[in-house]
């Protein structure tokens, strides 16, 4: 019988083992390089977006005219992550992104977070899309505290908002907010609108995703609260997001956690600015320029914020305290 | 008979020696082949490592370049917008691209605000009128309020500055004239931001 066999020499064994190791290392390194590339891309995108938002974060001085809006169009969809912290003197926000995974529809590697203390970005904790809508608006209490930035990727439909709000949406040209008279119109005219995107002002029905309740004296929704419509789930607790000083859009378009954290940060900044204006008032007096007569009021406002502000519900109290500050017309501080 | 057996033994011995020599040569050849394969594989691995290192150095220089570009963009964006932040901006009608000199002077001493911006240097220079004595810059303080030409608000770790940018601004402060009228005195200045 002819028993012809294949001689599996050491050279072959060595080549197979080392070859397998090389292939394994190559695949591992390839995967690692791909992930590093995704990480780098996501980090660069987050940094570029943060830089892009820099001019919006500080606005253009003055008051209402510094509001701006726009759309960031991206070549491929991204997911934005927004973490907010209240540590330090002003708190901070960490902004990170992740792009689409290579050869897949899934979200890829999350990049390094870019932190900023001078931005107040109100969003859901995670938003995804190819088109990101944003607008900025000054927040005043009574002096300008910061320009808040509201970012979202979803469509909203405001039902029966007050004239002030509908005019503002029109003048700012906010593309993802439509104004309608009924919830049925929202469902009929805006394709793919989510229930949470239907926002009812001063009334409620089953189609409303969120309700805005007015508590202002002028009945113009300048202060009040936003509540989710939980429908037939009354046992689920819904936290009310209280707003004042133009935070109504932020309250509608951000998460509870993000809203509470950023409104607290705004109050930290308002407190620091009250101290700054107090120092400016003293300096003007020392230099013999003028006496503002606001030292006591500013000290009271600063004390009120640092002692009593715990959550957004206290915004209404801060606003009332801020309204008592009347500037001397010939010696203005702000 | 004895003679033949000796011959056979010698022959067997010679064959055995030949076989051993052949096996030795074969072993040598196999070892040589193994060495050849090992060196070849080592060469391939080294080649890929070198290609990888070259690619990594290219990539890292690209990352450094894009990081530097992003830092520069941020410095420019901040230089253009920082004057309009409520901490530094002027009041009333002078709001656009204007630094309130009174506020800037206070912020210099209020360290709380230094952590607000992601910057390592913030400087305001008075361009016109120039109070410089030749090329000597005169740092502003409460004593030399209106006759100085440089106000260093933040200067942390300036040696490690990655990018810097500047922008021309108005420098305004409140003054009172001889008739007791309070007005905003504005001069030409430059704001310099370092990251």
List of chain B residues whose C-beta atoms are within 8 Å of the C-beta of residue A144: 86, 89
Nearest residue on chain A to B90, judged by CA atoms?
A334
CB contact under 8 A, B106 and A276: yes
CB contact under 8 A, A118 and B118: yes
List of chain B residues whose C-beta atoms are within 8 Å of the C-beta of residue A10: 30, 34
CB contact under 8 A, B176 and A144: no
Helix axis angle, B2-81 relative to A10-58, nearest 10°?
0
Q: Rounded to whole angstroms, how far apart are CA atoms A130 and A224?
A: 33
Sequence-ordered list of residues with C-beta below 8 angstroms from that of A230, at least 6 positions apart, any chain: A236, A238
| Of residues B74, B84, B91, nearest to A58 (C-beta) | B84
Closest CA to A95 of A110, A68, A114: A114
Best mutation target, B26, B86, B115, to test chain A (most A CBs within 10 A)? B86
Q: Is residue B173 within a helix (H) or strand (E), and if so which, with residue range?
A: strand B164-176
Tens of pLDDT along B8-48? 676 666 677 777 777 777 777 777 877 887 788 788 889 98
DSSP B91: P
Tens of pLDDT along B77-105? 888 888 888 999 998 777 778 999 999 99
The pLDDT, as a whole number, for residue A329 is: 74
CB contact under 8 A, A60 and B38: no
Residue B114 C-alpha from the chain's centroid: 21
Per-residue pLDDT tens, chain A, 334 aa: give them.
Answer: 556 666 777 777 877 888 898 899 889 988 888 888 888 888 888 888 887 777 776 554 444 456 788 888 888 888 999 999 999 999 999 999 988 776 777 777 888 888 989 899 999 988 998 899 999 989 998 899 999 999 999 999 999 999 999 999 999 889 899 999 999 999 998 888 898 899 999 998 899 999 999 998 888 899 999 998 876 665 555 689 999 988 999 999 999 999 999 999 999 999 999 999 999 999 999 988 998 888 999 999 999 999 999 999 999 999 888 888 888 777 888 8
pTM for this entry: 0.83
The pLDDT, as a whole number, for residue A235 is: 53
Buried b (16+ CB within 10 A) or exposed e, A92-109: bbebbbbbbeeeeeebbb
More reliable by pLDDT, B65 or A1: B65
Quote the minimal CA–CA distance from B82 to chain A in Å: 7
C-alpha pair distances (Å), A284 with each of A142, B142, B149 = 20, 11, 20
Q: Is residue B145's pLDDT more than 80?
A: no
Quote the minimal CA–CA distance from A206 to chain B in Å: 43
Is there a domain that residue B98 lies in?
A: yes
Pull the structure tokens for residue B65.
Answer: 């370049």
Closest CA to B109 of B79, B139, B152: B152
Q: Rounded to whole angstroms, how far apart are CA atoms B98 and A161?
A: 36
Q: What is the total count of domains within chain B?
A: 1
Closest CA to A158 of A201, A99, A222: A201
Quote the minimal CA–CA distance from A22 to chain B in Å: 7
SS3 letters across chain A: CCCCCCCCCHHHHHHHHHHHHHHHHHHHHHHHHHHHHHHHHHHHHHHHHHHHHHHHHHCCCCCHHHCEEEEEEEEEEEEEEEEEECCCCCCEEEEEEEEECCCCCCEEEECCCEEECCCEEECCCEEEEEEEEEEEEEEECCCEEEEEEEEECCCEEEECCCHHHHHHHHHHCCCCEEEECCHHHHHHHCCCCCHHHEEEECCCCCCCCEEEEECCCCCCCCCEEEEECCCCCCCCCCCCEEECCCCHHHHHHCCHHHHHHHHHHHHHHHHHHHHHHHHHHHHHHHCCCCCCCCHHHHHHHHHHHHHHCCCHHHHHHHHHHHHCCCCCCCCCCC
What percent of chain B shows pLDDT beyond 70?
A: 90
Distance from first CA to last CA of chain B, Å, rounded?
105
All structural domains of chain A with their residue ranges: 155-253, 264-323
The secondary structure of B21-83 as a DSSP string is HHHHHHHHHHHHHHHHHHHHHHHHHHHHHHHHHHHHHHHHHHHHHHHHHHHHHHHHHHHHHGG
Q: Which domain holds residue B185?
A: 77-194
The pLDDT, as a whole number, for residue B15 is: 77
CB contact under 8 A, B118 and A273: no
Q: What is the mean pLDDT of chain B?
A: 84
Quote the minimal CA–CA distance from B93 to chain A in Å: 8
Is there a domain that residue B35 lies in?
A: no
Q: Is-contact A159 A208, C-beta < 8 A?
A: yes
CB contact under 8 A, A289 and B182: yes
List of chain A residues whose C-beta atoms are within 8 Å of the C-beta of residue B117: 117-118
Q: Burial level of A190, CB count in 10 A (0-12/13-18/19+)? A: middle
- Give the distance between the most distant pair of CA atoms in chain A: 119
The pLDDT, as a whole number, for residue A64 is: 41
Q: Which residues pair with A115 in a beta bridge?
A: A94
List of chain A residues whose C-beta atoms are within 8 Å of the C-beta of residue B85: 58-59, 118
The pLDDT, as a whole number, for residue A238 is: 64
Q: Rounded to whole angstroms, how far apart are CA atoms A223 and A165?
A: 12
CB contact under 8 A, B116 and A59: no
Is there a domain that residue B44 lies in?
A: no
Quote the minimal CA–CA distance from A15 to chain B in Å: 7
């Amino acid at each position: 019988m002819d028993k012809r066999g294949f001689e599996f020499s050491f050279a072959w064994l060595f080549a197979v083992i080392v070859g397998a190791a090389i292939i394994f290392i190559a695949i591992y390194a390839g995967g690692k390089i791909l992930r590093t590339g995704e990480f780098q891309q996501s980090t660069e995108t987050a940094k570029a977006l943060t830089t892009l938002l820099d001019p919006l974060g500080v606005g253009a001085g003055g008051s209402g005219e510094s509001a701006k809006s726009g759309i960031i169009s991206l070549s491929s969809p991204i997911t934005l992550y927004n973490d907010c912290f209240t540590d330090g003197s002003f708190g901070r926000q960490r902004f990170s992104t992740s792009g689409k995974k290579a050869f897949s529809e899934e979200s890829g590697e999350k990049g390094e977070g870019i932190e900023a203390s001078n931005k107040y970005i109100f969003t859901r904790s995670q938003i995804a899309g190819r088109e990101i809508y944003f607008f900025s608006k000054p927040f005043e209490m009574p002096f300008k505290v910061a320009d808040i930035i509201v970012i979202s990727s979803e469509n909203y439909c405001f039902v029966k908002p007050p004239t002030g709000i509908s005019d503002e949406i029109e003048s700012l040209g906010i593309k993802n907010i439509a104004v309608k008279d009924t919830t049925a119109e929202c469902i009929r005219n805006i394709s793919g609108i989510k229930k949470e995107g239907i926002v009812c002002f001063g009334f409620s029905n089953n189609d409303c995703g969120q309700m805005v309740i007015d508590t202002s004296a002028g009945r113009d929704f300048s202060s009040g609260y936003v509540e989710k419509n939980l429908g037939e789930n009354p046992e689920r607790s819904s936290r009310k997001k209280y707003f004042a000083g133009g935070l109504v859009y932020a309250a509608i378009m951000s998460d509870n956690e993000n809203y509470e954290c950023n409104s607290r940060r705004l109050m930290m900044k308002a407190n620091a600015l009250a101290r700054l204006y107090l120092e400016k008032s003293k300096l003007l007096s020392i230099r013999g320029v003028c006496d503002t007569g606001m030292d006591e009021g500013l000290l009271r406002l600063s004390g009120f914020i640092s002692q009593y502000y715990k959550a957004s519900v206290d915004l209404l109290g801060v606003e009332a305290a801020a309204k008592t500050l009347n500037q001397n017309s010939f010696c203005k501080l702000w | 008979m004895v003679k033949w057996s000796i011959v056979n033994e010698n022959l067997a011995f010679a064959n055995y020696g030949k076989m051993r020599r052949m096996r030795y040569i074969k072993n040598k050849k196999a070892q040589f082949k193994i060495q050849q394969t090992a060196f070849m594989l080592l060469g391939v691995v080294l080649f890929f490592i070198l290609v990888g290192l070259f690619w990594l150095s290219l990539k890292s220089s690209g990352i450094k370049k894009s990081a530097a570009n992003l830092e520069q963009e941020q410095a420019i964006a901040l230089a253009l917008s920082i004057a309009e932040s409520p901490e530094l901006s002027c009041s009333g009608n002078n709001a656009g691209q204007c630094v309130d000199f009174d506020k800037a002077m206070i912020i210099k001493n209020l360290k709380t605000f230094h952590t607000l911006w992601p910057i390592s240097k913030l400087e305001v220079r008075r361009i016109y009128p120039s109070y410089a004595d030749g090329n000597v810059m005169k740092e502003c303080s409460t004593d030399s309020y209106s006759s100085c030409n440089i106000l260093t608000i933040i200067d942390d770790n300036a040696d490690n500055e990655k990018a810097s940018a500047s922008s021309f601004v108005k420098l305004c402060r409140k003054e009172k004239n001889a008739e007791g009228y309070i007005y905003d005195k504005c001069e030409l200045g430059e704001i310099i931001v370092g990251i």
